Amino acid sequence: MDKGHSNRLRPLIPFSTSRERYLIADHPIHPNGNNFVITVKYGGYFMEAHKDYKNAVEHLRRLTDKLGLKFKYIG
């Protein structure tokens, strides 16, 4: 993943998808205090993987936009 992108990711953490949920955070806990349901840990970050397919793709697209990366859906 890294390739220098973590410097751009750090200021976006936690990355929220709503007032109640994070997509990626330093700790697997949502803003409302609930634990992530399905946690993926990578490089010291935690991602909430408990998402329906359509929203997961959209939230990843929003994150890559903020990072200045190209996102191409090929599914």
Do the domain assignments include residue 32?
A: yes
- pLDDT (mean) for 3-11: 75
- 62 pLDDT above the threshold of 70: yes
Q: Give the count of domains, the chain.
A: 1
Residues in Cβ contact with 70 at an 8 Å cutoff, skipping those fewer than 6 apart: 64
Q: Judge contact between 26 and 32, C-beta under 8 A.
A: no
24, part of any domain: yes
Residue 43, domain member (yes or no): yes
Look up the pTM and report it: 0.83
Residue 74 falls within a domain, yes or no?
Answer: no
Give residue 3's pLDDT. Answer: 58
Full residue range of the structural domain in which residue 51 is found: 6-67
Quick check: is 47 in a domain? yes
Is the pLDDT at 63 greater than 90? The verdict is yes
